[in-house]
Structure formats: structure tokens, C-alpha cells
Structure 1
């Protein structure tokens, strides 16, 4: 299918909200390669779940399997308890939106948004189109040619078109990756507000952590086809389930409790109940300059906007970075900031 793929049968009525999407032990294979490896996931009614991972992590393959565009080699996909394995793509009631909306150039904005609404009479179709254009911030744009739209406007039209047939689930595959960062940040808010306003659950694929943390109720981190952790954004950031997850999120270096204690770490009580020897993962703001802290060698200095990015070598030989308000000398006194660190398994 071209454009924003409409995977929903437009003859379906507006869906009722039940228990939502359940993915159980999903496996997707391409020949000998396993792209999705026994993933279990749920999306509750009205919930937005982000699939977050690097290129090749399996997030898009999982999304396509949910849509029915990729066959499952194992496991199941269900909606409200109904197994969808044998249900054709167009009868699942889902819609997929890609990074390039590929709007139909011969149709106006209104023509694109109302494309999947042929079962409605003209008056009802026009009302639905107007309602959606207002939701995405494009009220009055209906008569315009889509060829006159900016990239951000085109994606808003693609979003409105995706929502027009009342999908049970909206699946978004890197919908903003082709746009510049400032526009992406704005449109993440538009996407979230629109999904919330329409009570449409979303499965949102992205490699951009800022997008995932901004839009999602829960984030599922994938790597090599495996699901590493699913958690609310604040929980995921504060308590990564493993060193692998912490490294993906940008934590590092990692210190033993003794090494961390030498830099002012006072979180030993957090070890209670944890097996093995936990490590202290230093986050991007986990080190701070402190006159009473431990002096460490400065390895690099880069001028930034109103501050300096300072590279330092920690007592255990690991390299780290922090911000300084003034250019440092050969050494810099530092301390660990507990709120900027996390405790993970070794």
C-alpha cells in the first residue's frame, strides 16, 4: 500500500474499548535470522507504548507483525482476547503511519483526510475531516493542495488521515525521523495531544529517546529482537533493569560500590535485596563539580553554550564527562550526584 497505510476496514464501526492489544511470545524470522525473539507486550486502551531501540533491534519487525504485514513464526497477537493470527490485515482494525506520509498529490488536504471515509455521506465525511484537521492544528486547510504543505504540515495531515476511520490501534513507525529536531519536538506534542483527545491507543516505534520519553506512557526497550525492559519513562530512567539497558540509555561509566563511595556515593542501602554486586551507573548529569569533592585529572575541555564540557579521568581509570561553569585547570574536584546515577546489576 502507498501512503499512510490504511490497514483498517473502513466499514467497521467506531471501536469499543476493551482490554486492548496483547502480544504473547511473538517470534519473527527472516530466513535463519530471528528479528523478534519471544516478545511479550501489552497496550491498554488509551495507552501509548513506545518501542525503543537502535537500528536492527526488531522494533519495526514487531510493529509489522502486530499489523499482520509480517507472519509470526511463533506466538500470537490478540485484541480484547481475540486471536488475530488468522485475521486478514484489513480486518484487524489497525492503522499504520510511516515516516513519509506520501499523501496523494492529486487530492486536497480534505481529500486525503477523507480518503478512507467513502462509507459516510458527504456531510458526515466533511464534518469528520473538519474535526480532525482542527485536532491537528490545521483548521481551514481542507481546500489546500498537499503539494503546498511544509513537511510538518504534511505529517499532521497524514496523522489526521490515519485517525479518520477510528482505528482500534494506531501504529507509528518513525513518523518524525525525516524532520529537523525543532519540528520533531513540536510534532511529538501534536501527536500525543491528538491521540489523547481521540482516546486512540498507540504503538510508537522510534530510535529517538527524547521522543519516546516525551510521548509514551510506557517504553519497551528492544535489542537484537529481545525485549529488555518495559516501564514508565521515569521508572525506566531511574531503574534500568540491567547494564545493557543503562548503557543504551546513556549511562556510563560504571563503578563498584567502593569506587563510587570514594566519589561521595551514599547509596549503599539501595543494595539491600539485590543479588550479586551492583554497579553504580553514572548518568549524563551524575557528576558535578564540588569544591569539597575528589580531585580528578582533566583530559579535555570543550566550550559549550554558557558552560564547558569537561572530560575527566576517574580514580578507577574510567573516562567521564561533566559540565563546568568555568574552564578548569589540570584537575577538577568532583562528586557523584546520587539523583543522576542508577544502581544496576553487575
Structure 2
């Protein structure tokens, strides 16, 4: 499906939930709606589905104006945060329900195929209440896939699952979506999820659409500081800087050699992703000695907070590392890996060039 939103706006009373935006989804691909809670993701998704009519603007599906057309008249599949299944029906009947509505043949075989894909084939005769949360969400996903809708909307479908289940389902979903059978819209607050799913990403903040494009491109070249903040986990390190002859001067007079475009504003902000900081130096690195304030292990990474002359920095180190609080450590940074934003917060320099 080719879904196009033209000047979509959503207000409830005096509150603006979506500011006017234009968005044309890449058909038969995955688009991730990325943003913090209350960024506007669910509001936008409800407009796409036909659950809510926008205050202004048009929704076009394959060139046809479907603005305000109720969801029951549109071929849309939805998966929510909650595990929504028919409680009195077995898992098999839950998955089969959209197939029966369409009067399809070979229903049992299709149900079996979907159950195997989502690893729920042992539970086909059970009721949803007899399953774990992760298994119930797999049932909801299988039913949505069975519908073969041209538009599939998933509103943070993994948020209520534990860490291990989320990791497993993320990988499986990226494979399932790769078939290109549907235009998929997937809402999440997690940048890691957007990167794993690939495809395209629309970054939302405070009801505004900030940037839309291929996920890797939006991550590498966020057009503004707001986009960079939304697409960084842990948050991007941001430091005040001043334009200098040979680059940027950071707090405490530390010089950073970064080629700036001509006529750059004097007041700048330097962005450093946590993954760009290391504890082992290389030729050409900037050394930032400091004191360990906090160290925490998350999954297979270690996050260390270091008080340096330029301010507190958070480094994301691969593997498990041990740091004593208050101990000395030096962080190293390749100047070619920094972002530079102008006084208005717009991107001036990104790693790999202007």
C-alpha cells in the first residue's frame, strides 16, 4: 500500500497532539515511528488506521482519499502493547479468525505455518489465558500476519515483554517483515529497535515530524540536535563549544580539530555518541582524562560516566569492564567521529563529512 499523509494535524480541545506534517511511506517496507512517550506516535498511527479522524489534512491510500473512513471499512492489521486476543477461542482459532472471515481455503495449513514461524505450534489447542505474555503477543502477531493486510500497524508491541523475549521477537519480526507483503509501521521509543528493524525511520518529538528517511541515514546524519537526542541510547553527549581557527574550542580550553563549514556561527554544540568514546587511545585521538563517577553493566555493554575537564561524559564500552568509583580513567575520541550543531541546533558536521 502507498500511504500518504498530507498536512495532517490533530487537536483535542486546546491541546495539539500533532502539528501539521507531510509523510509518504515507502510502500511494502518497514517504517519505524521513533520518539519518546507522548511524541505523537500513537496519535499518528490511529490516524493512519482510521481509528481517529484528523483535525486537518488528508490520508491517501493508493491515491484514494480515506480520511475519516472507519477502520472496519479498511484492510488494516493492528498489534498493540497489550496482548489482545479472543479469550474464549483457542490459539489456532485466534490465528484462523481473519482467514475464516475471508473464506479462504487451506486454513489449517496456513495456521500451522504461522504458528511455526512464531514458535507457538505447541500451544495451538490452548486458550490465550494459559499462555505467557510473550506467547500471547506471538498469537496476536500471527493473527495480524494471517490477515495479509496491505497496511500493518504495530504500536510498541514488545514494550510489555521482558528483555530476553524482546530480543528474540525483534530478530524474528525483522525477518517476517522482510517479505515485503505489507507496508509496515512500527512505533517504538527505543533507537536500538529502529536500528535492528532497519527500513525507514520517522523521528517524532512533541507532535512534530522532525525527519524521515532510511534508518541508517537518519541515525548517521540527524538533521538537528532534537533528532540526535531522539535517536541516541544512551543519550548523545552534548558539549558547548566555540568556533576557533583550527576547529572548536571546548570547555577548559580543550581544542578539537574539526573542519567547520564557512560562516559557521561562533556558538556551537558538539555531539559525541557514547559508543565513540574509548579507553584505549589511537593515533590522532583527543585524550580526556577524568574520574569515574558511575559504572554500570547493561547486557553485553558497560556504561561508564566520567567527569572530565570538558564535562561529564558517558562512554559505551563493548564487553564487561570493571571500574572503581573515584578512580582515574582517560577517555579517547577520534575528532572525525563528532557531530557539530549550530546555535539553532541544526547539523553542521557529521562523521564522514559535512
TM-score tier by shorter-chain length is: 0.7 to 0.9
Unaligned 5+ residue runs, structure 2?
242-246, 344-354
Among candidates 135, 145, 166, match of residue 163 of structure 1: 145
Cα distance per residue 1:276-309 (max 9 Å; x no partner): 3553201112333356854534252436589975
What is the CA-CA distance between 1:87 and the residue it aligns to?
Answer: 2.5
Is 1:134 the counterpart of 2:124? The answer is no
2:352 is aligned to none
Among candidates 309, 312, 336, match of residue 315 of structure 1: 309
What is the CA-CA distance between 1:217 and the residue it aligns to?
Answer: 0.7
Q: Aligned to 1:66, what secondary structure does the other structure show? A: helix
Going from structure 1 to structure 2, the CA distance change for 1:120 and 1:41 (only over 3 Å counts) comes to: closer
Q: Distance in 1 between matches of 2:328 and 2:101?
A: 72
Contact 1:221 1:245 in 2 (8 A): yes
Alignment of 1:175-324 (within 5 A): 175-197=157-179, 199-248=181-230, 249=232, 250-256=235-241, 257-259=247-249, 265-268=256-259, 271-272=260-261, 276=265, 278-290=268-280, 293-294=286-287, 296-298=289-291, 300-302=293-295, 304=297, 310-316=304-310, 318-322=311-315
Q: Aligned to 2:27, what secondary structure does the other structure show? A: coil
Q: How many residues align?
A: 325
Unaligned 5+ residue runs, structure 1?
1-16
Please, which moves more after superposition, 133-142 or 226-235? 133-142
Going from structure 1 to structure 2, the CA distance change for 1:47 and 1:338 (only over 3 Å counts) comes to: farther
Q: Post-superposition, which runs of at least 4 consecutive aligned residues in structure 1 deviate over 6 A?
A: 305-308
Q: Aligned to 1:117, what secondary structure does the other structure show? A: helix
TM (normalized to structure 2)?
Answer: 0.81
Please, which moves more after superposition, 297-306 or 172-181? 297-306
Q: Distance in 2 between matches of 1:43 and 1:323?
A: 33
Cα distance per residue 1:2-27 (max 9 Å; x no partner): xxxxxxxxxxxxxxx5xx11112110
Going from structure 1 to structure 2, the CA distance change for 1:135 and 1:290 (only over 3 Å counts) comes to: closer
- Of structures 1 and 2, the one with the larger relative CO (CA 8 A, separation 6+) is 1
What is the CA-CA distance between 1:312 and the residue it aligns to?
Answer: 3.2
State the Cα RMSD in Å: 2.9
Going from structure 1 to structure 2, the CA distance change for 1:308 and 1:69 (only over 3 Å counts) comes to: closer
Q: Aligned to 2:73, what secondary structure does the other structure show? A: coil
Cα distance per residue 1:151-171 (max 9 Å; x no partner): 222111101111222211100
What is the CA-CA distance between 1:322 and the residue it aligns to?
Answer: 3.0
2:332 is aligned to 335
What is the CA-CA distance between 1:310 and the residue it aligns to?
Answer: 4.3
Contact 2:33 2:201 in 1 (8 A): yes
Q: Distance in 2 between matches of 1:206 and 1:29?
A: 22
What is the CA-CA distance between 1:210 and the residue it aligns to?
Answer: 1.6
TM (normalized to structure 1)?
Answer: 0.83
Q: Distance in 2 between matches of 1:167 and 1:122?
A: 14
Going from structure 1 to structure 2, the CA distance change for 1:273 and 1:159 (only over 3 Å counts) comes to: farther
